[in-house]
Amino acid sequence: MSVIYSEPWYEDMKALINGSADLRERAPADRIVLSLEVEGDGKSPYVPEDGAYYFLLEIEGGRVEVFRPLPERFSGKGLSFRFSAPASIWESVAAGQTDPITAGLRGAIKVRGDMRFLMENADAVKLLIDLYGSQVDTEWPKGKPPY
């Protein structure tokens, strides 16, 4: 079990995704570069209200090559997708309490990038989301959502 947003948590996420044979079979071979933006919202005890966490993921052939925090917002150069949402939304997804697809459709998670690509690869996207939201054993030392 690893604490949310810790280095071991990133490694656990990477190992979980890379261990999925289903994702490797369904994912496109293309290199996909994602930026995840976790925005402080005054609800999460893990992200300051006026702060944010930024992450870079690079996935190729269904395998995570890079999953790391960034010191600031990614410039966007070479980016395939940008996902941004309040911390309480991301954390409720990580806790398996919020469906990220529904949150995206309702505008709680903002998505920028090639939506056609996401739709064409919906099975792989859904599997990746399910892995993130329901299978990492996360420790919540300041309390688990909902807050």
Q: Which portions of the chain are predicted below pLDDT 50?
A: none
pTM for this predicted structure:
0.88
Q: How far apart are CA 40 and CA 42, in angstroms?
A: 6
How far, CA to CA in Å, does 85 sit from each of 9, 21, 41, 90, 97? 19, 29, 9, 7, 15
Report pLDDT for 144: 93
pLDDT attached to residue 134: 63
Q: Which domains does the chain have, with CATH numbers?
A: 2-134 (3.30.1050.10)
